[in-house]
Amino acid sequence: MTDRKTDYPALPLFTDRWSPRAFDPRPVDDATLFTLFEAARWAPSSMNLQPWRFVYAKREDAHWEAFLSVLMETNRLWAQNASALLYVISDSEMEYKGERRPSHSHSFDAGAAWMSLALQASSMGLITHGMAGVDFDAARSIINAPEGFRIEAAIAVGYPGAKADLPEALQAREFPSDRRPVSDIIVHGPMAG
């Protein structure tokens, strides 16, 4: 439960999800992790192509350190306490009439899948934190991303930790953020020229 205020009524699951940095460094079991992947699986996508893939490491895995190493230092600082690190990648091409063609919506589709995963996690008392602060070239080789796949973001998944364990500068930012008003994000009719 957060004290975020909505302009209009919406399901609390949307305002309850936020992106903490304080993680409790404990393992997550496969049953829990796969429930998150299951939620992602049901996201809608253009032509139901499901272009997303989640390339992951759990903190006890041999490849954990490598997966962590390609995050920007500012993210590694706290993400090292996550239970799992996911790289969300998506296929920038699609099969159409027997041909490989550029996909218009692969990133949009992958975004829907990540949000499904994040909401499922939040509803189970887990936390998620998306990261674009990644050395994407290094990540590409660490996770061995197939050609044509875009690395969208990294996601830290885990359990809530103590804010007091974060460096002071991060403690000051450890609260659910606000949003622009609804009126800022909508345009009724064509946009002004």
Q: Does 133 bind ligand FMN (CB under 6 A)?
A: yes
Q: Which of 132, 138, 162, 172 binds ligand FMN (CB under 6 A)?
A: 132
β-bridge mates for residue 130, sequence order:
155
For ligand FMN, the binding residue among 27, 130, 136, 174 (CB under 6 A) is 130
Cβ 100 to ligand FMN shortest distance, Å: 26
Picking from 170, 169, 189, 156, the residue whose alpha carbon sits closest to that of residue 80 is 156
Closest to ligand FMN by CB, 47 vs 132, is 132
| DSSP secondary structure code for residue 71 in this structure | B
**Do 4 and 178 touch, CB atoms closer than 8 A?**
yes
- Whole-angstrom distance between the N-terminal and C-terminal Cα of the chain? 41
C-alpha angle 65-154-107 in degrees, rounded to nearest 5: 150
Q: Write down the least CB distance from residue 31 to ligand FMN, Å.
A: 25
Closest CA to 20 of 170, 179, 180, 178: 170
Nearer Cβ to ligand FMN (17/58): 17
CB atoms inside a 10 Å sphere around CB 176: 13
Stretch that binds ligand FMN, among 29-37, 57-65, 129-137, 158-166 (CB under 6 A): 129-137
For residues 14-73, which are near ligand FMN according to CB under 6 A? 18-19
Task: Kindly state whether residue 75 participates in binding ligand FMN, applying the rule CB under 6 A.
Answer: yes
Taking the CB of residue 138, how many other CB atoms lie within 10 A of it? 13
Considering the complex, state which of residue 8 and residue 192 has its C-beta at the smaller distance from ligand FMN.
Answer: 8
Q: Given the rule CB under 6 A, which of 61-69, 124-132, 159-167, 183-191 is the region that contacts ligand FMN?
A: 124-132
Calculate the CA dihedral of residues 121, 145, 67, 167 and round it to 10 degrees: -60
Rounded CA-CA distance 18/89 in Å is: 22
Residue 177 in contact with ligand FMN, rule: CB under 6 A: yes
Q: How far is the CB of 43 from ligand FMN (least distance, A)?
A: 15
Residues that bind ligand FMN (CB under 6 A): 18-19, 75, 130-133, 153, 176-177
